[in-house]
Amino acid sequence: MSGRAGVVTRGALMMLKKASMGMFIAIVIGSMWLIMPPRAASIITAERIPNADSGHILLQAGGCFACHTDTDDYAGGLRLDSPFGDFYSPNITMNTTQGIGGWSLNDFALAVRQGISPEGTFYYPVMPFTAYQGMTDQDIADMWAALQQLPNSDQSNIAHDLPFPFNQRLLLKGWRLLFFKQDRVDPEQRGAYLAEHVLHCAECHTPRNRLGALIASKHFAGNDQLPDDNAAPDIRSHVLKDNGWVAADLKYLFAEGMLPNGDYVGGTMVEVTDYGTAALSSEDRALLADYLLGN
């Protein structure tokens, strides 16, 4: 299952290897350097029986609901400020004009895991496809089935407000070449799979370089440069242990949002606990806790 990343992925990976010599040049002439990615004919090949119930949980846990909802559920419009400008999440309800109602399952898989639209353009990594790239075919199919069941909204999308040069999507080709790594955690390692690919803890808890890419060597070391004065603390296992965290504390944080000293989390972590980890089963919260503590 984990090898089924599709033509685009393997192509990009080969490019990445070839690129190691001339990466810098690649950013500059990125648009000429890479041919348009082919519309992957089929990413999800095997027959699957989608489970919409599991899909609803994944949409919550993955932060899709939190980020794609401002007023109407999943209708987008939420402003996301960043050092590069303001992004607005799009409508992902099944509305055929404003949402993604005309899409196929494979269009959806390509968008969520590869950050590529049905037209072949690239999404900004503010949509965390860099984490979702490791989600299983089954989980993608489940989310797609869940989205079909939700009410659709005709709320129109708001254009991102980005200054030049960040408003040039073509630059994303160079960015992907440099920073879009496809490392997949084995879904059998469920705690790790949930943390890295579904709940994407690293997106906030790992510091970024100046081009907005996560610094792999500082995985979970904390990031105090988040929008709106948010600061995500260091959550590496040795730091958590030094601070006295045990599995029961993490499980209660994931269920209720409380810290071991009776304080309650604030900032964007509230969305993670309330919509994300609270939606998981208590078994999954325990696996997540064990993964964080390195047990």
Partner 1 sequence: MIKFKKTAILCVSALMFSGAIAAGDFDKEIDGRQSYMGVLGYNMGILGAMAGEKMPYDADLASAAARNLALAAAMNNGSMWPQGSDMDSTEGTWAKADLWQNFPIVMDQLGNLKTYSEALATNAGNGLSSLQAGMKGVGDSCKECHKRFRAKKN
Interface contacts to partner 1, rule CB under 8 A: 224, 229-233, 246, 248-249, 251-252, 255-258, 260-268, 270-271, 273-274
| Structural Rg of the chain based on CA atoms | 19
Q: How far is the CB of 144 from ligand HEC (least distance, A)?
A: 8
Residues contacting 161, CB < 8 A, separation 6+: 85, 86, 88
Q: What is the 3-state secondary structure (H, E, C) of 36-65?
A: CCCCCCCCCCCCCCCCHHHHHHHHHHCCHH
Q: Among partner 1, ligand HEC, none, what binds residue 252 when CB lies within 5 to 8 Å by partner kind?
A: partner 1
Greatest pairwise CA separation for the chain in angstroms:
56
The least distance separating partner 1 from the CB of residue 273, rounded to whole angstroms, comes to 8
Q: Which does 156 bind (CB under 5 to 8 A by kind): ligand HEC, partner 1, none?
A: none
Q: Which is nearer to ligand HEC, 13 or 226 (CB)?
A: 226
Residue 67 touches which of partner 1, ligand HEC, none (Cβ within 5-8 Å per kind): ligand HEC
**10 or 241, CB closer to partner 1?**
241
Binding site for ligand HEC (CB under 6 A): 62-64, 67-68, 80, 87, 89-90, 92, 100, 108, 111-112, 117, 123-124, 126-128, 132, 143, 195, 199-201, 203-205, 226, 230-233, 235, 243, 253, 259, 262-269, 272, 277, 292
Which residues pair with residue 116 across a beta bridge? 122
Look at residue 195 and give the partner it binds from partner 1, ligand HEC, none, a contact being a CB closer than 5 to 8 Å depending on partner kind.
ligand HEC
In the complex, the smallest distance separating the C-beta of residue 164 from partner 1, rounded to whole angstroms, is 28
Report what 256 binds from ligand HEC, partner 1, none; CB cut-off 5-8 Å by kind.
partner 1
